[in-house]
Amino acid sequence: MVKGETVDIKSKEFTISCVKPCGTEEGKVMAEARLKIPRVGHGRMFQLLRKRFPRVRQSSDIRAARLEWKGRVAIVFDSGEVYIRKAEDRDDAVRIVRLLYSILKPRP
């Protein structure tokens, strides 16, 4: 994967639309995804992510949270948009998106 790979990984939980080489870490990849969840308020999203990840920063201005976990970085917007950085490979990016979905999915 030299340039960006446009992918169309779809599931009932999320869609990953792009995987490409990471611009900040050689040998790693970055990905763009959309979680199929209703809009989560950024305050609630931050609380849910904070329970699972120790390194989470909140940005109320752009309604997003930035988390670092096991060397990976994810920026999660309350709209469900997700940007993954420093993932090991495409499969690792999918695992991260699945984990985020499991944390933020609506509860009955």
Q: How far apart are CA 59 and CA 78, in angstroms?
A: 11
- Assigned token pair, 90: 């495409």
63: left (phi over 0), alpha (psi -120 to 50) or beta: left
| Sequence-distant (≥ 6) Cβ neighbours of residue 12 within 8 angstroms | 36
**Average pLDDT, integer, range 43-49:** 90
* Fold of the CATH domain 5-104: TATA-Binding Protein (3.30.310)
- pLDDT tens digits along 58-86: 887 888 999 999 999 999 999 999 999 99
pTM above 0.75, yes or no: yes
Confidence of residue 26 (pLDDT cuts 50, 70, 90): confident
Packing angle, helices 42-52 and 90-104, rounded to 10: 120
State the pLDDT at residue 1.
42
